[in-house]
Chain A
Amino acid sequence: MDVRPKENFSQRQDTSAVRHRKTCKVNERAEIPSQPHNGTINGVNKRITKREGGEHISSPSRDAHVPVFILALVIVLSVSTRFYKITEPPHVCWDETHFGKMGSYYINRTFFFDVHPPLGKMLIGLAGYLTGYDGTFPFIKPGDKYEHHNYWGMRAFCAALGSCLPPFAFLVVLELSQSSTAALIAASLLIFDTGCITLSQYILLDPILMFFIMGSVLCMVKFNTQRLGPFSFSWWFWLLLTGLCLSGSLGVKFVGLFVILLVGINTALDLWRLLGDLSLSLVDFGKHLLARVFGLIMLPLFLYTTIFAIHFIVLNRSGPGDGFFSSAFQSRLIGNNLHNASMPEYLAYGSVITVKNLRIAGGYLHSHWHLYPEGVGAHQQQVTAYLHKDYNNLWLVKRLDNSDDLTGSPELVRHGDIIRLEHKETTRNLHSHFHEAPLTKKHLQVTGYGINGSGDVNDLWQVEVCGGRKGDPVKVLRSKVRFLHRATGCVLCSSGKTLPKWGWEQVEVTCSPYVKETPNSQWNIEDHINPKLPNISLAVLKPTFLEILWESHIVMIRGNSGLKPKDNEMNSKPWHWPINYQGLRFSGVNETEYRVYLLGNPVIWWLNLLSLALFVILLTVASLAVQRRVKMEGMMKVHCHTLMEGGGMLFLGWLLHYLPFYIMGRILYYHHYFPAMMFSSMLTGITLDILLQNLQLLFSSSLSHYLMRGGQSVLLLGFIYSFYLFHPLSYGMRGPLAHDSASSMAGLRWMESWEF
C-alpha cells in the first residue's frame, strides 16, 4: 500500500506534464545562466524562443519555417551534380573492382569474405539486381570495360544516396543554428566539393555509409528538438529512425561505430539532464531510459543481426571466402567439400589430411619450398598456417617407425599414438627443436625437416584427443586434436601473428611449452583422403546462427587488423587529409586515358580547415565570456549558445570521425576522411555565419551589414567558381597532364603532391 500513492502521484504528474513544464523550464534557466532569458529576448529572436521555450507551437508549424525554396534548390543542384555523366567512364574504376564484384556475389549467391559488414554490398547487389544486372561481369581489375553489362543501376543507386548528403547537411545546420544562411553555406560546401561528387558517383561503400551517418545525425538532431513532447508520435518516429540509421551505418562499415559513439554521448547527456530534473519521477526517467535502450540499442542490434541473417541465407554457395572460416561453418555452403561431406570417419595411418587450427580464422597447417631466413632459428623449411585452401596444406600421416604396412586394411590412429606428419608436397616431416620461434620468442620453432620422410627423433608427435582416453580413435572434423612434441614436450600451436615478408605474410606456427588447452593449440582434421577406407557421410555439427555471427565478426576484425601498410607502398597519413595533401586515382594515369581523380575542392577544404581554427577561437572566447559572466546582448547570447551547443556537437562529430585514425594500425586511405569532412563542412556553415553576423563587434553597424552581405555572396560565388575550375577532376579529363599548358587543369596543380 505504500507504493500505490506514489504511482498515482507519478501518473498525475505525467498527465499534467504540460502544466508543470513551464516551471521546470524556468528552473533550468536559473541553473544555466548562458541560456537566454525569456523576458530579454522574446522580441529579439523569435526562432530561438520557439526552439527553447515555445512549447505551445506544435511541430508542423515549425516545419513551415524550413525555407522550402532554398531546400528545393539544394536538392536540385545536388542531384544534378551527382548524376551528371554518371555512366562515364564505362569501365571499372578503383574499388568498384571489389564492391561491384561483391554485389555480383550476392546475385550469384556465392560466399565471400570481406572485412566490412555486409549491408553496403547487399544494397549494391540489390540495386544491380533491380536494374537488370545479371551478376556475370567479373570485375577483375580497374580499367576493365563494362560493355553490355548493366552497371549504371548500381552507380545510380550510390549517386542517389550521395545526393541526399547536401540536403541532410542543410537540415541539420538549419536545426542547430536556426539560420538558413548557415545551412546554405554548409550545403553548398558539399554540393560543390569535387571530392564528394567523385566519391558519390561510383559503386562504392562510402556514399552508402555517409548517407547513414548523415541520416543518423539528422534524426538525432530532430529527436533532440522533440524534447518537449516526449513519447509523442514524432518523438518515437525520430528515435526509431535514429536507431535505424545507426544500424545502417554500422552495417556498411565499422566506421559507423564513431557515429554511434556520437549519438551515444548525446543520449547520455540528454539522460543526465533528465535525471537531474527533479520534477520527473524515477519511473518516468526509467521510461525515458528504456525507450532509448530500445530505440538506440535493441533495435539497431536486432536490425544488424538481421542483416547478417540475410547475408548468410542469401550466400549459400561455396566461394572464395571459405577458407577463412571453420570446418563447421563451411559445411553449410553448397559446393564446399564439407557440404554433405563423405569421407572416412576415423583417422588412419597412410591417410592424406588437412589440419585446421581451431582458433577462429586459424588457418591450415601449411608448408612450402621456402626456408626460414638466416638468423631466424634453424635454416630449415618454413611451417606456417595459411587461410586459403591449397595443395600445400596436405599432410601424410605416418607411423613412428616408418614401417608402412601397405597390405591389409589400414590401422586407425588412436589417442596417445606417436606419429610423424609428412608434408605431401615437399616430403619433409613436421619438426620442432630448441630454437626460438620467429615471432613468439617464448615458443619453439616448428620446421619441415628431413627428406623423403626420413628424419630424426624430433619429428615425432603424440596425438591427443581433447577429452579422450587412451585408445580412442580420432574422429575426422569432430575431434579436437592436439599434437604434443615428444622430444621437448611442447604442443603444436598457431600464435595468430603474421610473419614478415619472408614468410609470405602467412601466420606463424610454433610449438608452445605451455600445454594449457586453448583453441590456439587445438586442431581438427578437415579433409581426409584414404582410398582404402569406406567413405561415410558425415552430418557435421551444424553451427547455430549466433556462433556463425560471432565467428564472422572475429574473422572480419582479424582481416581488418591484417590490412597492414606495405613497406614500399606510398602511405596516406591522417595529417595529409584535412590539408587535402594528396588524392586518389580513380581511373587513368596517362595522357591518353580518361582520368578521374578523387580530390576535394581545395578552396572548400582549406576554408574548412581555416574555419576549424576559427571555431576553436570563437568557442574559447564564448566560453570564457560565459564563465566570467560577461554581460551580453540578446543576439550575442543566442550565438554563444548555438556555438557551444550546435557547434560543439559538430566539432565532437568531427573529432570522433577523425582522431581515431591516428591510432589505427591498418592501412589508411584519403577517402577515410570524408565522413569527418561532412561534419567539418557543417561546422564551417555555423562558424562563418556567426562570424559574419557578429562583425559589428569590430566594425560600425552599417559597414558590418555590407560586409556580412558581401561575405555571404563572396563565399557562394567562390564555391561555384572553384567548382567550375576543378570540375574536370570529377567529371573526367583527357589530354595532357596539368604541367602542360594545353591541359584543362593547367595552372591548377597548386600542390606538388597532386597527381593530375
Chain B
Amino acid sequence: MQCVKLPVSVTVEINVLLLAVTALALFTRLYGIHFPKAVVFDEVYYGQFLSLYMKQVFFIDESGPPFGHMILALGAYLGGFDGNFVWNRIGAEYPGNVPVWSLRLIPALAGSFCVPLAYLVVVELGYSHFSALGACALLLMENSLIVQSRFMLLESVLIFFLLLAVLSYLRFHKARNSFFKWFWLVICGVSCAFGIGVKYMGMFTYFLLLSLAAVHTWQLIGDQTLSHGKVMFQVLVRFLALVVLPVIMYLGFFYIHLTLLYRSGPHDQMMSSAFQASLEGGLARITQGQPLDVAFGSQVTLRTVSGKPVPCWLHSHKANYPIRYENGRGSSHQQQVTCYPFKDVNNWWIIKDPGRQSLVVSSPPKPVRHGDIIQLLHGMTTRYLNTHDVAAPMSPHSQEVSGYIDFNVSMPAQNLWRVDIVNRESEKEIWKTILSEVRLVHVNTSAVLKLSGASLPEWGFKQLEVVGDKIYKGYQQTGMWNVEEHRYGRSQEPKERELELKSPTHSDVNKNLTFMAKFLELQWKMLTVKNEESEHKYSSSPLEWITMDTNIAYWLHPSSNAQIHFIGNIVTWTTGNITLVVYCLLFLTYLLRRRRKVEDIPQDSWEQLVLAGVVCLGGWAVNYLPFFLMEKTLFLYHYLPALTFKILQIPIVTEHLYIHVLRSSAQQKAFGGVILAVLCSVYMSYHSLSPLTYGQPALTSDKLAELRWRESWDILLRKR
C-alpha cells in the first residue's frame, strides 16, 4: 500500500494506464483502416476537395473553414496522392494510385487520441482515475465514434481539438506555476482556433469556454487583493490568448488556403472578376481589360452557360451541311454552325446592327440592350447566323442553324435575332460580358438557339450540334449563352479584321487583390451561398438523435452482405441519457438546499460538481441544442461532439453517486455490481454491432435482421 503513495510510482502508474488506453484506442481505430478499399459515405464529399487541394485548384466549400481540408490534404500529401480520382459515387473502388491508408490515418489518429484526452479531462475535473478509466472504456467501445474515426471524415479531428481545448483551459485554470499557466492558456486558444478551423461547429464549444473564462475573470476582477494594474494585465492576457489569437489563426488558415490554391477551378464563377483574375489560368485572366458592355460592332465569342456535355463556344467553319444525310433527309447545304469545345479563331462573331452596314463600334459605342434585334456575323467567313424551317441534322424536330449562303433557291435569309437577357434586373439592361446570360430568339420563327446535346458525325468533325428549338419552354441552361471574350471591332476592312480577330485579347494588367479583400469576399461567399435544401435519405432531425432513432448506411459491399453503418452503442447512449437526468436532479436538489444553508456535500465537492456540469453538460447542450434552430440538412453524426461530452459525464455522475449519495457499504457494493453489469452490456453491444462498424465479417441475412434492434434502423438486406 505504501508504494502507491510514493509520488514517483503514482506517476508511472498513470502513464501506464494512459499508454494502455491509448494503445487500445489506436488498435480499435486503426485496425484495418484500409478496408474497404472503396469510397465510404462523405469521403465522396471531402474527396473532391482533397483532389482539388492536391492539384492546388481553388474551390469554395461552404460547409466549413479550410483547416479541415488542409488536415486531410496533409494525409494525402504524405501518402503521395496525386489527386487523380473522380469522386462521384459512394462505393466506387479506389484505384491503386489512391493511398487509402494514409488518407484515413490522420482522422483515425485524432479519433484515437480523443480517448487519452478524455482520461485527462476527467482527472483534471477532479475525479478519480477509476472514473477516468470508465470514460475511456465507454469511448473505446463507442461504435459511432469508431466508425467516424476510421474514414476520411472530419468529426474525429474536431472532437480531438475540442477536448484538447477543454483540457488546456482546465489545466490553465488550475495551474499555479505561471509559466505553465500561460502555456496552457495559449494551447487553449490555439486548439479553439483549430476546432473552429475544422468545422464551424467548433464555435459552440469555443463560446462555452469563453463564457467560462468570462465568469472566472469576473471573479478575478472582484478579488480585492490584486491591484488594478494586475487585474488589467490578467484580463488583457486572457483576451489576447482567447480572442485575438484565434482570430489571427483563423485568418492564417485562409491565408494558407489562398496561397496554396492559386489555380483557377470549378468554383471560379462564384467569385468576383477581380478575385478570378488573381487565380492562375482563370477565365478572367484571359478576358482582362475587355469592355464590359456589348455594343453593336463588338467582336465576341459566345459560350454555353451550362457545362453539359462540355463547355463550348458557338462556332462555324468553311464547310457546308451535306446535301443529303445518311438516312436520306435533305439539308439546306448551307455553312455548318456548331459548338466547339476548344478556343479557336472561328469562334469569333461580330454583332451587327441590322439597320447599319458598319461592322465597327461607333463612338460612343451603342450598347446592345435586352430586347434589341441583332445580326451575328461570323468573323472569318462573314456568313450571317441563320435558321429556317429545315430539320436539323441530328435532332429532326428542331430547326437547322446555318451560316447563310444564298443559293438562289427561294430560301431567303432569316438572320435576325432578338437578345433576351435572362438574368436581367431591368427591362433596359445592357448586355454585359460574362455576366449576362442571354437567349437568342429567332425573330421569324421564335426558335431559340440552343445546344441539342448530340454530336455531328464525320462531316461535322464530331463537333456538337446547334439547333433552333421552337418548343423551347421555361428555363433551360442549354439555350443560354454568354459573351466570354470580347473586344470592340475597329477595322472595317476584311483583311485587317481577320488580323484583328487573330490577335490575342488579353492585356497583361494583373490586378492584385490584398489578402484581406480576398478573405472577406471568400468568407462572405461561404456564409451566403445557399445550397439547395433537400432531404437526404439518411438525414434526420435532432430529436431523433437522443434516442438514436436513425442510422446512416456508410457502405455496402458490392456483392456480399458486408456493410458499414453509423450506429452508436445503444447501451452507452441510454446510460448517458439516464445520467444526464440524474445530474440535473442532483444539481437542482443541492442548489435549492444550499440556498437554505443545508449542505449535503462539502463545498469543494459542490464546486467540482458544478464545474464538471458546466464542462460536460454544458458541452453537450451547446453542441446539441443549436441544431434545433438550423435549417440545413442534418445527420446523426452531427451529434458526435455532444455525445462525447455526454459520455464524459457518465463516470462523473456515477462517482458522485458512489461517494456522496450511497452511504452504506452494502449499497456501494450493489452499485459496483450495477456498474460492472452496465460495462459488460456496453461491451456486448459493442461486440454485436462491430460487424456493422468494421464492415467485416459479412453477416448472413438472418444475423443482420437480428441486429435491427430498432424498427427505424435502416439495415440493408441483399435480396437473393
Report A's interface with B, CB cutoff 8 A. 272, 275-276, 278, 282, 436, 439-442, 514, 516, 624, 627-629, 663, 665
Which of A275, A628, A663 neighbours the largest number of chain B CB atoms within 10 Å of its CB? A628
> Which residues of chain B are within 8 angstroms of A442 by Cβ–Cβ distance?
535, 537
Say whether A628 contacts B228, CB under 8 Å.
Answer: yes
Residue contact A441 to B221, C-beta cutoff 8 Å? no
Binds A, one of B112-120, B420-428, B562-570, B590-598: B590-598
Is the pair B631, A665 in contact by a Cβ cutoff of 8 Å? yes
**Other contacts beyond A275-B596, A439-B535: 15, CB < 8 A:** A272-B595, A275-B595, A276-B596, A278-B596, A441-B536, A441-B539, A442-B535, A514-B711, A514-B712, A516-B711, A624-B221, A627-B222, A628-B221, A628-B224, A665-B631
Distance in Å from the Cβ of A436 to the closest Cβ of chain B? 8
Bound CA span A624–B539, Å: 48
Identity of the chain B residue whose Cβ is nearest the Cβ of A663 in the assembled complex: B629
- Which listed residue, A275, A436, A441, touches B592 by the CB 8 Å rule? A275
> Are B629 and A440 in contact, with the CB atoms below 8 A?
no
Complexed CA–CA distance, A629 and B224 (Å) = 8
How far is A272 from B588 in the complex, measured between Cα atoms in Å? 13
In the complex, A514→B222 CA distance in Å? Answer: 59
Which residues of chain A are near B85, meaning CB under 8 Å? Answer: none
Interchain residue pairs with CB less than 8 A apart (21): A272-B595, A275-B592, A276-B596, A278-B596, A278-B597, A436-B537, A440-B535, A441-B534, A441-B535, A442-B535, A442-B537, A514-B711, A624-B221, A627-B218, A627-B221, A627-B222, A628-B221, A628-B222, A628-B228, A629-B222, A629-B224
Cβ–Cβ contact A441 & B537, under 8 A? yes
A439: chain B residues within 8 A (beta carbon) = 535
Against A, the Cβ 8 Å flags (1 = close, 0 = not) of B522-546 are: 0000000000001111010000000
Q: What CA separation (Å) do A514 and B539 show in the bound complex?
A: 15
Considering the complex, give the chain A residue whose CB is closest to the CB of B536: A441
Chain A residues, Cβ within 8 Å of B597: 278
Q: How far is the CA of A441 from the CA of B222 in the complex (A)?
A: 56
- For the complex, give the distance between the alpha carbons of A96 and B386 in Å: 58
Residues of A within 8 A of B629 (CB): 663
Q: Once bound together, how far apart are the Cα atoms of A272 and B592, in whole Å?
A: 9
- What 0/1 readout, one digit per residue, does chain B (43-85) give for beta carbons within 8 Å of chain A? 0000000000000000000000000000000000000000000
**B212-252 with Cβ < 8 A to chain A:** 218, 221-222, 224, 228, 231
Digitize B576-608: 1 where CB-to-A-CB distance is under 8 Å, 0 elsewhere: 000000000000000010011100000000000
Listed in ascending order, the chain B residues whose CB lies under 8 Å from chain A are: 218, 221-222, 224, 228, 231, 534-537, 539, 592, 595-597, 629, 631, 711-712
Question: Shortest distance in angstroms between A227's beta carbon and chain B's nearest beta carbon?
Answer: 18
| Residue of B228, B534, B595 with most chain A CB atoms under a 10 A cut-off | B595
Number of A-B contacts (CB under 8 A): 35
Complex contacts, A624 vs chain B, CB 8 Å: 221
A624-B221, A628-B221 known; A282 vs B596 contact (CB < 8 Å): yes
Chain A neighbourhood of B712, CB < 8 A: 514
User: What's the least CB distance linking A32 to chain B, in Å?
Assistant: 13
Closest A residue to B226 using CB positions: A628
Residue of B nearest to A278 (CB): B597
Give complex CA distance A272, B596 in Å.
10
Give the shortest distance, in Å, between B380 (CB) and chain A (any CB).
Answer: 39
Most B CB within 10 A of own CB, among A627, A629, A665: A627
Chain A residues contacting B218 (CB-CB under 8 Å) are 627
- What residues of A have a CB within 8 angstroms of the CB of B537 in the complex? 436, 441-442
The distance from the CB of A335 to the nearest CB of chain B, in whole angstroms, is 40
CA–CA, A308 and B222, complex, Å: 52
Nearest residue (CB) in B for A282 is B596
Q: Roughly how many angstroms separate A514 CA and B713 CA in the complex, as a whole number?
A: 11
Which residues of the other chain, B, contact A665 by a CB distance below 8 angstroms? Answer: 631
Minimum CB–CB distance from A616 to chain B (whole Å) comes to: 15
Q: How far is the CA of A88 from the CA of B652 in the complex (A)?
A: 69
With the chains together, A278 CA to B596 CA distance in Å? 6
B271 to chain A, nearest CB (A): 24
Q: When chains A and B are docked, how far (Å) is the Cα of A663 from the Cα of B221?
A: 34
Chain B residues with CB under 8 Å of A628's CB are 221-222, 224, 228, 231
Cα–Cα, bound, A321→B712 (Å): 37
Q: Which 8 A-B pairs have the closest CB atoms?
A: A441-B535, A627-B222, A275-B595, A276-B595, A627-B221, A441-B537, A663-B629, A442-B537
Most B C-beta atoms less than 10 A away, residue of A275, A436, A439, A442: A442
Q: Bound state CA distance, A109 and B592, in angstroms?
A: 51
Shortest C-beta distance, A285 to chain B (Å), equals: 9
Task: Compute how far the CA of A514 lies from the CA of B714 in the bound complex, rounded to whole angstroms.
Answer: 11
Q: How far is the CB of B1 from chain A (nearest CB, A)?
A: 45
CA distance A299 to B210 in the complex (A): 41
> Which of B218, B534, B535 has most chain A Cβ within 10 Å?
B535
Q: How distant is the Cα of A665 from the Cα of B632 in the complex, in angstroms?
A: 13
Alpha-carbon separation in the docked complex, A436 to B538 (Å): 13
Chain B residue with the shortest CB-CB distance to A516:
B711
CB contacts (< 8 Å) of A275 on chain B: these are 592, 595-596
Q: Which residues of A contact B221 (CB under 8 A)?
A: 624, 627-628
| Cβ-closest chain B residue relative to A440 | B535
Give the docked Cα–Cα distance between A598 and B382 (Å).
Answer: 62
The CA-CA distance from A282 to B598 in the complex, in Å, is 13
Chain B residue numbers with a CB within 8 Å of A663 are 629
A282 to B597, CA, bound (A): 12
Contacts of A627 in B (CB 8 A): 218, 221-222
Q: Which residue of A lies closest to B630 (CB)?
A: A663
Residues of chain B lying within 8 A (CB to CB) of residue A629: 222, 224
Residues of A within 8 Å of B631, CB to CB, are 665
Shortest CB distance A169–B (Å): 33
> Which of A276, A439, A441 counts the most chain B CB atoms within 10 A?
A441
Chain B residues with CB below 8 A from A276, complex form: 595-596
Distance A440 CA – B629 CA, assembled complex (angstroms): 19
Q: Which residue of chain B lies nearest to A514 when distances are taken between CB atoms in the complex? A: B712
Chain A contacts for B536, CB-based, 8 A: 441
Instruction: Output the nearest chain B residue to A630 by Cβ-Cβ distance.
Output: B228
Q: For residue A441, which residues in chain B have a CB less than 8 angstroms away from its CB?
A: 534-537, 539
CB distance from A694 to the nearest CB of B (A): 21
Interface centre among B218, B231, B537, B596 (most CB of A within 10 A): B596
Closest to A274 in B: B595
Cα distance, A628 to B232, chains bound together (Å): 12
Specify which chain A residues have a CB less than 8 angstroms from the CB of B222 in the assembled complex.
627-629
Per the bound structure, the CA–CA distance linking A440 and B537 in Å amounts to 8
**How far, in whole Å, are A629 and B218 apart by their CA atoms in the complex?**
13
Chain A residues with CB under 8 Å of B711's CB are 514, 516
User: Which of chain A's residues has its CB closest to B594's CB?
Assistant: A276
Closest to B231 in A: A628
| Interchain CA distance A665-B533 in the complex, whole Å | 15
Q: How far is the CA of A663 from the CA of B627 in the complex (A)?
A: 12
Residue of A nearest to B629 (CB): A663
Complex alpha-carbon distance, A276 and B228, angstroms: 32
Q: How far is the CB of A534 from chain B (nearest CB, A)?
A: 44
Complex: how many Å from CA A663 to CA B595? 35
Q: Name the residue on B nearest A373 (C-beta).
A: B474
Residues from chain B with a CB closer than 8 A to the CB of A516 are 711
Q: How far is the CA of A663 from the CA of B535 in the complex (A)?
A: 21
Give chain A nearest CB distance to B105 CB in angstroms: 33
Contacts of B596 in A (CB 8 A): 275-276, 278, 282
From B712, which residue of chain A is reached at the shortest CB distance?
A514
A628 to chain B: closest residue by CB: B221
CA distance A656 to B536 in the complex (A): 35
Output the nearest chain B residue to A273 by Cβ-Cβ distance.
Answer: B595
A residues less than 8 Å from B539 (CB atoms)? 441
Compute how far the CA of A514 lies from the CA of B224 in the bound complex, rounded to whole angstroms: 65
Residues in chain B near residue A514, CB distance under 8 A = 711-712
Kindly state the separation between the CA atoms of A533 and B534 in the bound complex, as whole angstroms.
47
B468 to chain A, nearest CB (A): 22
A514 to B711, CA, bound (A): 9
B561, chain A: closest CB distance, angstroms: 20
| A568 shortest CB reach to chain B, Å | 13
Task: For the complex formed, measure the closest distance between the CB of A75 and the CB atoms of chain B, giving whole angstroms.
Answer: 43
Query: Chain A residues with Cβ under 8 A from B228's Cβ?
Result: 628
